[in-house]
Amino acid sequence: MEASSTPQRLTDRKRVAIIGAAIEEFLAAGYDATSMDRIAARASVSKRTVYNHFPSKEALFAAILHRLWDASEEGDAPAYRADKPLRGQLLDLLARKLRLLNDESFLSLARVAIAAGLHSPERARDMVARMGEREEDLTAWVRAATADGRIKTDDPVFAALQLQALVKAFAFWPQVTMGQAPLDDHEQKRIAQTAADMFLARYA
């Protein structure tokens, strides 16, 4: 059992090393200048090993953003509860979202992604598609609340995007595009409360 688990642990360590090296390369050189060769060299693995884990630079970048999402959140996102008030559930979800948007590593890589997308609309569409492979927590919650009849909309995805836009207008775009400081705890709480109230006033 011990012998069979050793190769898997080695593989996992290499994957972690590749992701760590890729983050450093993307931040240091930008998206276009970063190559799988440079990532392999920084991670002290072969280029073939990098490709065994990630079929393309785009897939690797998407994996990095997913990893940051997961690292910024404690456990699984709370699922929709039919027996709980909507506002409290929304505030919990928005607090998680704001913690992610307050993470400097995530914001730095978001800047890299945006800069790369501006130079290539096709690449931007690919990044968006890869990021959308896993449904976002707020979208899943809005979809479930709509199915239960407590949120009134014929387009849960659109409604969820509106809710996220209310938050990102204060806690993402100013920080990414204009270098504003991340929000403090009081500001995060205020944004979460007002966004939840506006959303529920329209859709509950």
Same domain, 50 and 104: no
pLDDT at 4 over 70: no
Check: CB of residue 131 under 8 Å from CB of residue 62. Answer: yes
Query: How confident is the model over 19-39, as pLDDT tens digits?
Result: 889 888 988 888 888 999 999
Same domain, 115 and 193: yes
Tell me, what's the pLDDT at 130?
60
Same domain, 98 and 42: no
As a whole number, the mean pLDDT across the chain is: 86
Query: How confident is the model over 74-133, as pLDDT tens digits?
Result: 556 789 999 999 999 999 999 988 988 888 877 887 888 777 777 777 777 776 666 555
CATH code (residue 50): 1.10.10.60
Q: Which of 123, 117, 73 is nearest to 95 (CA)?
A: 73
pLDDT at 182 over 70: yes
The secondary structure of 47-73, three-state, reads HHHHHHHCCCHHHHHHHHHHHHHHHCC
Same domain, 95 and 137: yes
User: Whole domain around residue 44: which residue ranges?
Assistant: 1-54
Same domain, 74 and 137: yes
Same domain, 41 and 124: no
Same domain, 44 and 72: no
Same domain, 144 and 171: yes
Tell me, what's the pLDDT at 185?
94
Number of domains in the chain: 2
